[in-house]
Amino acid sequence: MSPTDDSRLAGLTSWDSDWSGLRVVVTGIGKTGFSIADTLAELGARVVVVAASDDAAAEQAAETLKIVGVDEVLLGAESSLDLPLVGGEPAELVVTSPGLPPAHPLLVAAQQSGIPIWGDVELAWRVRQRAGRKTADWITITGTNGKTTTTTMVAAILQQSGLQAIAAGNIGTPILDAIRDPNGYDALAVELSSFQLHWTESVSPVASVCLNLAEDHVDWHGSFEAYAADKAKIYQHTQKACVYNAEQIETERMVEAADVVEGCRAVGFSTGTPAVSMVGVVEGLLVDRAFIAERRDSAVELAKISDIGDLVPRHLVANAAAAAALTRAYGVAVPAVKAGLLAYDNGAHRIQAVAQQDGVLWVNDSKATNPHAASASLAAFKPVVWIAGGDAKGVGYDELVQAHAGRLKTVVLIGADSSALRAALQRHAPNVPVIAPDPGETGGVQQTEAVPNGTQAEPRSLPGDAVMAWAVKSAAGVATEGDTVLLAPAAASIDQFSSYAHRGDAFIDAVRGLLEGAGNK
């Protein structure tokens, strides 16, 4: 198999470039993979799609793609392992969905054959310019946690400033769908995962941010160092402002190492008093010391922290400060920042107050799918009855438990295998009671006695809704006035639930059912 003609790919820098006949293999047939294949077919490329999925949804998507001009769709686990020919000839390019790790056999085969690999974001950047349509500016956001919140805030602020803007990328709307919108946009708030950044080289945003960095997705990247290196790519080629977390030196070092456009500024954000060229907080006010002429000796008020919402933990303040810095770098006027934060909808499953009864606050943060996110939630409350556990994704829990042992009243374990979290609790919070399902019960889920950590049996794998109903009932049994019952799993949901949203909905349903039942007694 001969290497790709790099000169042709280098010339593909707009929608109107000559994409005709380009032989492309697309991996995945979910929302992102579908958008990739659909776009390439519209551009005139020859496309073969491979996907491990072969369920009804995949088959329906395959039929639709064939109608719009995709050459071939290969479904099933076996089909996705080998790099197929396109029209009987070797592929010239692979465009991959972000979930497929670099070590996947198909991607390894492409690399060994000298075939370039792009992600959907790289393709979107290359086709963003199109004759007769406006070209949207990009503001890019990544980080271990807070990406979706910050991206949503950025989009709200841009919209309140009068711009046609949308949140896209990892947040739910595929970036290629946003690019192809017939009406076009002035600006895009683009959430980028480390998976997407891994396959991205050319993107040149107006402003960019890495909100924070903590161990996550080590199983996909192979090491924390590789994960961090991919996160750092967010700053490459930034035009106006690289926004960094002034409270985490790693993000500032990423900016220092980045190859940016001449004249690009480094702008910090903080939840404390900002230094010059930062956005931060003073006496309950979000203030700007970066984008005003008098920044050396004064600051301008952007919004009140209370404008963000009723329940505003520190990490949500940090997200707002980052969003303000990004949009101010873009050129948004001061009033639009406040208007955007007022219009911002935090949505479900992110520090969501579900109920308060008999002095106990019930909070759903199912979106806390890793230890760093759970740490931010735990830091906002004390004392906490903590519902946690799930698919650990290869990360550890020692730092998380060490940091918050003093605020834990009881831990209720969920998850098919909570051994890693349980071990960390044994090491660093041995006196905190732990509740887990009784593996001896077969007729349903029953609460076991809350005892000091170390003597409780490991939980068995149970259906998600039943597990959550049990966990909520268990938490209610120990929570008293002044406590917060917090669902912040510090783990992915896929071992017992279909998604973090399903997990959060199960928590909400269980809490409301339990409290309404108690109120009727």
| Per-state percent for the chain, helix, strand, coil, to nearest 5 | 35, 20, 45
Would the annotation count 146 as a binding residue? Answer: yes
Look up residue 340 and give its amino acid: G
Would the annotation count 87 as a binding residue? Answer: no
Question: What is the C-alpha to C-alpha distance for residues 312 and 297, in angstroms, rounded to an integer?
Answer: 28
> Nearest Cα to 274, choosing from 243, 311, 308?
243
Confidence of residue 456 (pLDDT cuts 50, 70, 90): very low
Same fold, 6-123 and 133-343: no
pLDDT, position 145: 86
Would the annotation count 200 as a binding residue? Answer: no
Distances (CA, A) of 164 to 35, 170, 172: 22, 19, 18
pLDDT, position 172: 75
Would the annotation count 143 as a binding residue? Answer: yes
pTM of the model: 0.74
Lowest mean pLDDT among 22-26, 314-318, 478-482: 314-318
Under 8 Å CB-to-CB from 90, ≥6 apart: which residues? 1, 2, 23, 113, 115
Would the annotation count 148 as a binding residue? Answer: yes
The alpha helices in 192-313, defined as continuous H runs, are 194-198, 218-221, 224-232, 249-257
For the chain, how many residues are written? 521
Question: What is the C-alpha to C-alpha distance for residues 242 and 452, in angstroms, rounded to an integer?
Answer: 47
> Mean pLDDT across the chain, nearest whole number?
90
The CATH classification of domain 352-514, taken from the options 3.40.50.2300, 3.90.190.20, 1.10.287.130, 3.30.300.30: 3.90.190.20
Give the rounded percent of residues in the chain with a pLDDT score beyond 70. 92
Confidence of residue 394 (pLDDT cuts 50, 70, 90): confident
Question: What is the C-alpha to C-alpha distance for residues 200 and 205, in angstroms, rounded to an integer?
Answer: 12
Lowest mean pLDDT among 263-277, 333-347, 449-463: 449-463
Dump pLDDT digits (tens) for 316-369: 899 999 999 999 999 999 999 999 999 887 666 677 888 889 999 999 999 899
**CATH class as words, domain 6-123:** alpha beta
Domain edges within the chain: 6-123, 133-343, 352-514
pLDDT, position 282: 96
The torsion angle over the Cα atoms of residues 56, 62, 67 and 73, rounded to 10 degrees, is: -150
pLDDT, position 457: 38
Return the CATH number of the domain spanning residue range 133-343: 3.40.1190.10
Dump pLDDT digits (tens) for 75-97: 998 888 889 999 999 999 999 99
Separation of first and last alpha carbons in the chain: 73
Which helix or strand (DSSP H or E) is residue 434 part of? strand 433-435
